[in-house]
Amino acid sequence: MESRSPQPAVAPRGLPPGAASDVVEETVLLAGRTVSMLRPRDGDALLDELLAEDDPDEDRLPFWAELWPAGAALARAIAGRSLAGRRVLELGCGLGLVGVAAALAGANVLAVDRSPEAITFAAANAARNRVTLQTAVCAFDQPEPLLAAAPWDLVLAADVLYEQRNVPVLVWLLPRLVEATGEVWLADPGRSMLASFLAGVDATGWRREQLATDPAGMTIHRLRLEEGTAPPRVPAARRVGPRA
């Protein structure tokens, strides 16, 4: 990732208290443009705060608090493209780098994450880069709001296969988000779950191609449904994906 060393930064209003409000700035070069991203300075301190709670929720582990290489690779892949007027959904947005890149390319973006803290940072980073980014707290296995707004022109996801439970959920969900008219770009650093995900994708009726591998070793998979294989629309009252 082309970036400079993290620099101390002033936390904007509205960030969560504690370690999350102790922030640094990283800059990322995307298609000749410098993008400024805030993140918590110390991810371990965030984890310590969570584990100190009486009943810590593992779904709140602060994976969102880093600028992961797969996200940077996906952001670079879409930077400079013309996405004017396209409806784009980013799953597991974390700090929002991919969503910001898509918005800079002209897209109308909804960035979602199961972590409220991540959503707060994604919104702050969009404002920092003077782009509009809609955000929402939403988990893969509770996708009703995302399905209600489908079909999306483009769905973006970076490094989302870090847990086995995500694989069947995404295999079920993705074709219902884009139907026959859209596509999915998924960036992966070589997680062990990738093979089972791709097997599920192949069985579901996707056409897939591997875009050029990023210099850092990240691979981007472009998925489009074969004609005639789009799943039936799910009635609004039943829009619930498989539970992990």
Ranges of each domain in the chain: 63-238
pLDDT of the chain, 244 residues: tens digit per residue: 555 678 878 888 888 888 888 999 999 999 999 999 999 999 889 888 877 876 666 677 888 999 999 999 999 999 989 999 999 999 999 999 999 999 999 999 999 999 999 999 999 999 999 999 999 999 998 999 999 999 999 999 999 999 999 999 999 999 999 988 899 999 999 999 999 999 999 999 999 999 877 777 899 999 999 876 666 554 443 344 443 3
Helix or strand holding residue 195 (H, E):
helix 194-204
pLDDT at res. 56: 62
Q: Which of 179, 114, 163, 110 is nearest to 142 (CA)?
A: 114
Cα–Cα distance for residue pair 179/171, rounded to 1 Å: 13
Is the domain spanning 63-238 CATH 3.40.630.10? The answer is no
**pTM metric for this prediction:** 0.90
Distances (CA, A) of 50 to 2, 53, 61, 71: 31, 6, 8, 24
Read off the DSSP letter of residue 66.
S
pLDDT at res. 208: 95
